[in-house]
Structure 1
């Protein structure tokens, strides 16, 4: 949720340029300019939806009696770290040309 900004811009740029290189109709600059809006728009949409859904889930968990329960708060923060490590694992499995 919070580490998304670390990986998104370089990965999105690499994906745009790889897709543009496979286009034979246009030059590289024309292909990049025609598809970059769609890639970055979709990336922005998915990141905002993911962050909002995760904030809602954490908000629902930490309401009521759990608002002051130190065990639940500690577990929630721990699970955020676990999901961050899982995302790093999947990012390492990505194979880009460059």
Structure 2
């Protein structure tokens, strides 16, 4: 269930089409281990897991070992909204300014 939720936004870098450049030292976009993804990127909070055994069990239960954004060449929803807003503002300010 956790892996299915993660897979909506993240995927193996090879499946996501992330370029690999051996001369540059690996993947050209950010790639995360399962532990890094859950702890740092997603911010999975396990308040009663003081010794890390639950996080370790979750990490070991997920097949994929390396993750990147599932659609690295697409705009995020925030970027799409920002661009749309900028285009709207420009249209109102400079093209439809005096036509109500």
- When normalised by structure 1's length, the TM-score is 0.31
Higher relative contact order (CA 8 A, sep 6+): 2
The structure carrying a bigger strand percent of its residues is 2
**Larger Rg computed on CA atoms:** 2
The structure carrying a bigger helix percent of its residues is 1
- When normalised by structure 2's length, the TM-score is 0.30
